[in-house]
Every structure is written in structure tokens, then in C-alpha cells.
């Protein structure tokens, strides 16, 4: 699943492959954009903003896209057949040397670079961006003290770039249940700093290692380990849906160790039993 580090690395790879060379091939295989002619334009730069990809062109336009749950870009040498040319391919950008293929990329839009704010302006501080600001991210999280910390970390308006893996792992490493209200999390700033450190530590790889052990099955403490023993205490790792009941996708799955992560269970959170007995300062 693409997280901020995956998107950051994708942007860097696309930038290296495409920037500064005229486009020999440019296909946008979606609706209104299918007839857009970008050949001979140059890619000026490719940057990640949170989990959004911005491909900036030399004509003042930006090609925006988002990997969501299943999107990916692959760079192939030019002149070879593109693997899987079925409808999974949404964008093809090629120079004389390489072909970059966007498979199942989402939210494709071509807009003035000056208007990028309309697609990424809502984002909180970017965990991997040059403008990362932990104080602002902490303030944004703290603004909704009754919301569960698991949902709040995923909200890209608070901090941009963290997905479900880093949510689960951060909650584990800070010893809080994902259902803990933000206002009950001790040292919120410490939690924010940890999310940033985990993302930054994984910037150079497409997968995610939070344990320091890159061996298969040992990379994460709780994420993806439902029913298996917690790597710290041996209790069975739990899994449950969290957040908006209208959405049932992988972003809503929470993994946690009830032993290492005291705090409300999903059932208690649902019944409101997690409320602190003393009023929290607002």
C-alpha cells in the first residue's frame, strides 16, 4: 500500500527518469484528457506532496495524480513493449530513453502549476517535505481532542504522508490504543516526531520497516500481523475496523496489541466508555 515514503520515492524516480527531456510519448487514458497533446513538452520536475504526485511541465501546467490504495508508476526502457497494456494503464509519459507508466493511478488532473493549491492546499505539514513543521501538525491534531488518535493520524489535513502502516506502528511504539482520544494521548508532540522519524527512516525504500529488522515477517510490530504473537510481549495482535463505518477499505483496518497498547478497545470507543473521567483541558 502506498505510504508517504513510497510516493516520495516514486516522485524521485520519475524526476530522474523524465525531467529535462522532451516528451516523445504522452498519453492520458482518461475521459476529457485523452485528447490532450503534451508531446514535445518537457517535464520540469516531479515532486510529492503528502501522498499526491505533481508532475510539473514546462508549459505552466501540472499533471496531478494520486496512488491511493493500488496505484503505481513503473519506468521501463523505451522501445520495449509495456507490460500489461490493458485498462490498468492510465498514463504513459515517455522520452527518447524511457517510458514511465502510471498503473491504476487516480485523481488525474491537468491544472495550472500556479493552481496546485486547489488539489493539495488542504494538506497539513508534509512529513517528508522541506516545509515539515511538527509544531503545526501537533496543533492540528490537538484541535479535535475527542477524535481517536488512529483516525487523526490518517487525516491528511493534520499531517500529510502517513497511511495505515505508520498509523499502526506509531500507536504501538507510543503504547496507545488506536482508539485513544487525541486529548488523552500523553506527549502528542512526541508521537508526531515519531511518525516523522519512521517515514524519514523509510524514505529510501518502497516498503516499510519500523522494527529495524528488514527480514520478511519481522518488518512491522503489529501492522499486517493479526493473530500472530506481538513481537514484544507475545500476546495475539488484534485487528478491527476503525472510523467511518460507510467506508470499508484497507485504510480502516487497525492492528494493535491490547497488552502493549492500553486504552479503549473498539467496543469501548463505540459505547463512549473511553471518555476520561476528569474533563480534559480544551
**Residue 229 C-beta: closest distance to Zn ion, Å:** 8
**Residue 221 C-beta: closest distance to Zn ion, Å:** 8
SS3 state at 153: helix
Q: Catalytic pick from 44, 49, 51, 140? A: 51
Nearer to Zn ion, 60 or 229 (CB): 229
What's the rounded Cα separation, in Å, for the pair 19 and 39?
Answer: 14
**In which element (H, E) is residue 100 found?**
strand 98-103
What are the two backbone dihedrals, phi and then psi, of residue 34, each rounded to the nearest 5 degrees? -60, -30
262 is catalytic: no
Nearer to Zn ion, 94 or 266 (CB): 266
The cell for 3 is 505510504
**Residue 260 C-beta: closest distance to Zn ion, Å:** 3
Q: How many residues does the chain have?
A: 282
**Interface residue list for Zn ion (CB under 5 A):** 230, 232-233, 235, 257, 259-260
Give residue number: closest CB to Zn ion: 230
The cell for 248 is 470499508
**Residue 212 C-beta: closest distance to Zn ion, Å:** 17
The cell for 31 is 475521459
Contact residues for 59 (Cβ-Cβ < 8 A; gap 6+): 41
Nearer to Zn ion, 235 or 273 (CB): 235
SS3 state at 205: coil
3 is catalytic: yes
Nearer to Zn ion, 75 or 260 (CB): 260
Q: Catalytic pick from 203, 232, 252, 275? A: 252
44 is catalytic: no
The cell for 28 is 492520458
Enzyme catalytic residues: 2-3, 51, 252
Amino acid at each position: 500500500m502506498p505510504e508517504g515514503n513510497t510516493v516520495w520515492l516514486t516522485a524521485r524516480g520519475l524526476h530522474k527518469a523524465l525531467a529535462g527531456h522532451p516528451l516523445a510519448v504522452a498519453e492520458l487514458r482518461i475521459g476529457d484528457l485523452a485528447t490532450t497533446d503534451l508531446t514535445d513538452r518537457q517535464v520540469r520536475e516531479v515532486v510529492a506532496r503528502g501522498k499526491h504526485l505533481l508532475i510539473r511541465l514546462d508549459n505552466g501546467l501540472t499533471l496531478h495524480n494520486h496512488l491511493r490504495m493500488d496505484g503505481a508508476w513503473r519506468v521501463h526502457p523505451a522501445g520495449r513493449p509495456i507490460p500489461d497494456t490493458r485498462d490498468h494503464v492510465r498514463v504513459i509519459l515517455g522520452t527518447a530513453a524511457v517510458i514511465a507508466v502510471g498503473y491504476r493511478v487516480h485523481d488525474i488532473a491537468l491544472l495550472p502549476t500556479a493552481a496546485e493549491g486547489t488539489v493539495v492546499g488542504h494538506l497539513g505539514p508534509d512529513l517528508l517535505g522541506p516545509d515539515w513543521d511538527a509544531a503545526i501538525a501537533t496543533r492540528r491534531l490537538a484541535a479535535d481532542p475527542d477524535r481517536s488518535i488512529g483516525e487523526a493520524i490518517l487525516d491528511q489535513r493534520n499531517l500529510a504522508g502517513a497511511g495505515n502502516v505508520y498509523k499502526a506502528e506509531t500507536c504501538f511504539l507510543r503504547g496507545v490504543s488506536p482508539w485513544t482520544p487525541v486529548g488523552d494521548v500523553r506527549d502528542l508532540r512526541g508521537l508526531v516526531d515519531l511518525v516523522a522519524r519512521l517515514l524519514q527512516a523509510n524514505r529510501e525504500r518502497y516498503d516499510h520497516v519500523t522494527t529495524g529488522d528488514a527480514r520478511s515477517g519481522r518488518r512491522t510490530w503489529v501492522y499486517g500481523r493479526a493473530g500472530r504473537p506481538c513481537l514484544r510481549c507475545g500476546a495475539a495482535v488484534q485487528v478491527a475496523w476503525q472510523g467511518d463505518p460507510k467506508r470499508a477499505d484497507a485504510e480502516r483496518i487497525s492492528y494493535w496489541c491490547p497488552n502493549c497498547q492500553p486504552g479503549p478497545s473498539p467496543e469501548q470507543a463505540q459505547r463512549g466508555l473511553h471518555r476520561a473521567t476528569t474533563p480534559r483541558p480544551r
